[in-house]
Amino acid sequence: MKAIKFFVAAMAMGLAMSANAKIFENNHFTVDASVGAKVTSVTGLGFFGPVTVSNTDAAFSLGAMFQTEILSTNWITLDWDVFRFAWVAPFNSPGDWDELHFKTGARAYSPTFAGDHLRGYTNLDMGYVLGLAKDWNDDVSTASAFGLDWGIGIQLNKKFSFGYTLQFESNGKSKNHFFTFGYTF
């Protein structure tokens, strides 16, 4: 619970700084949709020792992000992902095992190439992941972990982007591989 309170306080402070400081003039709001694979692993004790069982499900993610530009030169543009929220669920049973991601991080853009439209990007976001699982009685249990997202992609123009994202959780039970499509307002 302390981690959630700290994270909310850090996000509130970041939003206040970006709203009041002149250095944070260029703000963006992005929504994204992702499709890919959710790989979960469970390790238990078998007859001959530890046994790890992995399961891969087709999954999707819907997210939103508020970012602000903190550095812009001829060679690189660096944005702070002030707040990133995502909902991750398997296609076959959304609502049975969901994840809520609350993260912050940085995104770096390359100079434009192929005219003034295309540019590459990479991002690194970290924060809190809350897992929600229903059992056969529809009782909901929760699990929380530190989450890390790493992504790479292409910004097609000022509005559209696509790329690859790897989401990892500290409890080691889930990795998500996604193709991501984003729209920036």
Contacts of 102 (CB under 8 A, 6+ apart): 7, 11, 83, 84, 85, 127, 128, 129, 130
Residue 149: pLDDT over 70: yes
pLDDT (tens digit per residue) in 24-45: 468 889 999 999 988 876 655 5
Q: In whole angstroms, what is the distance from residue 59 CA to residue 90 CA?
A: 4
Residue 70: pLDDT over 50: yes
Query: Is this structure's pTM higher than 0.85?
Result: no
Q: In whole angstroms, what is the distance from residue 41 CA to residue 54 CA?
A: 4
* Domains in the chain with CATH codes: 2-184 (2.40.160.20)
Mean model confidence pLDDT for the chain: 80
**What pLDDT score does 24 carry?**
46
